[in-house]
Amino acid sequence: MNSPLPFRVANDLLLHETPSKFLSRLQLLQLHSLLITSGLQFAAPSAALSLLNLYLSNPATLPQEAAAVFRQVRDPAKWNLMIRHASANAPLKALSLFREIRAAVNGGTDPFICASSIKACNKARAIREGKSVHCHVIRFGLDWNVNVLNSLVSFYMSSADLLSYAVMVFDKMPERTVVSFNTIISGHLRSGNFDASLKFFRGMLNGSFGLIMKPNYVTFVVLISACVEFREGRTGISLHCFCFKTGLDCNSEVSNALIDLYAKLRRIDDAERVLEDMPEKDLISWNSMLWGYANSNDVSCTFSFFTKMRGEGIRIDRVSISCVVSVCEEISVGRMIHGYVKAIGMESDVSVGTSLIDMYAKCREVESARKLFDELPKEDIEHWNAMIHVYIEHGFAQKALELLDQMKVRGLEFDEVTLLGLVMACRDTGQLHRGIIAHSIVEKDAIFKKSVVLGNALIDMYAKCGSLERARAVFDGMPQRDIVSWTSMIVGYAVNGEGKKSLATFEQMRAEKLPPNSVTFVGVLLACDHAGLIDEGIRLYETMSEVYRIEPQIEHCGCIVDMLARGGRIEEARRFVKNMPVAPNALIWRILVSGCRVHGRVDSGLNLVTGLSELDFSSGEFESESADFVASSNMYAEAGRWGDVLDQRSYMADRRAYKAAGKSSLLLPE
């Protein structure tokens, strides 16, 4: 139990406002008793105000205890103190207090109270109330106060629909500070308008807003961080030069932002120079550099730098461990890292645990990943999500569904990542009925329903299970769609033989001015292939490279070769293969051989068989090799060369090549 506080010590604490984190709840109650018994609450109102501040700052105290002190304080500043604390932790309570203030204390004309109320509206996303406070500010002539106006700019900048209000308030400010500029710049960046933020920054420097304002370190941290987000590397380098001229590059926050910028630009040498020139380095500095090495996939430098951190006594945290684990490519090294994590007691940390699971999966040690998962705490959904997605990525979708069932038994609530795993597992196993259940969960939750990622996954799942009507219903019902949404629908129609619908969806996408990507054109060309639209497919192939500047990949070329071979245009297909921008692989030759066999072009097919026989199969891809042997064997059989057929079959037996069994996603009736 805490010992009582002597009178002189208690009086000194009240008058000097000692931070409440150094006092227990019992000691605060002792101070309160002293205030009452000594009469200080009337003799020294500032002491009572200090006690109220101590109560509000201490998380161990009860709300009613602070309320009791509040009633005893006569200083009007108590309202400002109460609403300032409430706006940070309980914004709705702050708004309630503001209504009381307006009725009790001169209509609430204290600018500090108004500024705190606006901040509370911002935090609570109370747009209507915020506008009401703005009207109150104008009515009582408080629109001269820079703190109030800065709060209003920040409030209006928090909503994309209210940006014009923020700019209007900023333009009419009689006085601006660096905080005013920082607020309008960061607000534009949050709304995704990088150019507008630079416009205000330049205006800050050249005085186009009435005065020349010197930016501070916050200005540069905000802008440099935005250069990373918006991939504006050249602007970030220019800002670095400006920081160097003004001496702000020595600020640790600015330097950390610069290290992060150069690390994400993969300009590691520049990041190293910034780190070396820093007068004081903190953990963020070291971790940013470590992340830069890991992001560049420089395994050697990542481990060397991590060793340097340990050698210099830098505190290792979850970010440090996650960076090192992310570049681990050898299971022996991964197990050593795992042992180190155990030794420092960080294995149960959520981010570290999930990183280790991913590391084992990347090393194709799925059983080791599961063993680690079984040892980790089961209340953290992140561990479940990591293991579920490991199973899906490695072709064990059924085991992923078993884990999802275990989550339901434990009563764990699914988040977006969990639901994504469920939909993907249903896609891979062809369990349409479970996919429909997952869809119903998404529909019942407003947040899930707005998720573009979940919507795209549902389209893909329904399309691969052959339920195109449901896939289209999801697509049409999405509040927002991205290029993946359109591509999923286009590819879904194509693989299910609905070529015309696929092309119609593609034209609809183009009408909405959304540029297609490489995968979109795979779907479009596949649709032309299945629908027999050869000339249309060739035209779209040319459009892809000439209009959209997309370099053709082997998948695009394969679609063209297949549609020409299916249509009997063998010589045209051969010319296309000869002029392909990428080297033909076994699949291309196999398509040509099959086309020759189907259309009776035996001589041409026999010549192409030589191309298949000269391919290198040293990589051990026996499934692909087997398909090539089958194509060659069928071609020899078509020509009546049965001796060569036997040779091919014997060679397949010697190589132990096999053909993978097919599987269907169609559900049998129960």
Q: What is the mean pLDDT of residues 383-407?
A: 94
Q: Which amino acid is at 429?
A: T
CA atoms within 13 A on the CB side of 154: 19
What pLDDT is attached to residue 387? 96
Distances (CA, A) of 663 to 401, 459, 460, 535: 19, 21, 18, 33
pLDDT over threshold 60, residue 603:
no
CA atoms within 13 A on the CB side of 460: 21
The two structure tokens encoding residue 585? 């692989």
Model confidence band, residue 250 (pLDDT cutoffs 50, 70, 90): confident
**Cα(262)–Cα(620) distance, integer angstroms:** 41
Sign of the CA dihedral running 309, 314, 317, 319: negative
Q: What is the mean pLDDT of residues 202-214?
A: 85
Structure letter (DSSP) for residue 249? G
Model confidence band, residue 125 (pLDDT cutoffs 50, 70, 90): confident
User: What would the DSSP string read from start to end of 335-374?
Assistant: HHHHHHHHHTT-TTSHHHHHHHHHHHHHTT-HHHHHHHHH
Distances (CA, A) of 449 to 351, 353, 374, 453: 27, 29, 32, 10
230-234: Cβ within 8 A, 24+ apart: 230/194, 232/194, 233/261, 233/265
> Which candidate, 288, 292, 362, 296, places its Cα nearest to that of 325?
362
What pLDDT is attached to residue 8? 47
Model confidence band, residue 667 (pLDDT cutoffs 50, 70, 90): very low
pLDDT over threshold 60, residue 436:
yes
C-alpha triplet 59, 62, 68: angle, nearest 5°: 125
What pLDDT is attached to residue 634? 56
**Cα(229)–Cα(227) distance, integer angstroms:** 6
Model confidence band, residue 234 (pLDDT cutoffs 50, 70, 90): very high
Range in 12-26, 505-519, 588-602 the model is least confident about: 12-26
Q: What is the mean pLDDT of residues 568-585?
A: 86
Q: Which amino acid is at 578?
A: K
Mean pLDDT computed over every residue of the chain: 81
* Identity of the highest mean pLDDT range in 484-488, 605-609, 619-623: 484-488
> Which candidate, 308, 309, 319, places its Cα nearest to that of 346?
319
Distances (CA, A) of 329 to 264, 317, 337, 341, 356: 21, 21, 12, 17, 12
Distances (CA, A) of 223 to 183, 204, 217, 220: 12, 13, 10, 5
Report the first-to-last Cα separation within the chain, whole angstroms: 69
Cβ–Cβ < 8 Å for 288, 258 = no
**Cα(309)–Cα(340) distance, integer angstroms:** 14
What percent of the chain has a predicted confidence (pLDDT) above 90? 44
**Cα(108)–Cα(467) distance, integer angstroms:** 62
Q: Which ranges of 430-533 would DSSP assign to H, the alpha helix?
A: 432-444, 446-450, 452-464, 468-477, 483-495, 499-511, 518-531
What percent of the chain has a predicted confidence (pLDDT) above 70? 74
Model confidence band, residue 624 (pLDDT cutoffs 50, 70, 90): very low
Cβ–Cβ < 8 Å for 633, 643 = no
Model confidence band, residue 37 (pLDDT cutoffs 50, 70, 90): low
What pLDDT is attached to residue 622? 37
Q: What is the mean pLDDT of residues 383-394?
A: 95
Contacts of 148 (CB under 8 A, 6+ apart): 111, 114, 115, 118, 137, 142
DSSP SS3 for 663: coil
pLDDT over threshold 60, residue 611:
no
Q: Tell me the backbone φ, ψ of residue 208, rounded to 5 degrees.
A: -70, -10
Range in 52-56, 95-99, 212-216, 604-608 the model is least confident about: 604-608
Contacts of 644 (CB under 8 A, 6+ apart): 633, 636
Cβ–Cβ < 8 Å for 28, 58 = yes
Work out the burial of residue 299: count CB atoms within 10 Å of its CB; fewer than 13 is exposed, 13-18 middle, 19 or more buried: middle
Neighbours of 184 (CB within 10 A): 31
What would you report as the CA-atom Rg of the chain, rounded to the nearest whole angstrom? 34
Q: What is the mean pLDDT of residues 213-227?
A: 92
Q: What is the mean pLDDT of residues 143-167?
A: 88
Model confidence band, residue 616 (pLDDT cutoffs 50, 70, 90): very low
pLDDT over threshold 80, residue 67:
no
**176 Cα distance to chain centroid:** 35
pLDDT over threshold 90, residue 80:
no
Model confidence band, residue 48 (pLDDT cutoffs 50, 70, 90): low
CA atoms within 13 A on the CB side of 564: 20
What pLDDT is attached to residue 348? 83
Dump pLDDT digits (tens) for 279-327.
889 999 999 999 999 988 899 999 999 999 999 888 899 999 999 999 9
Model confidence band, residue 109 (pLDDT cutoffs 50, 70, 90): confident
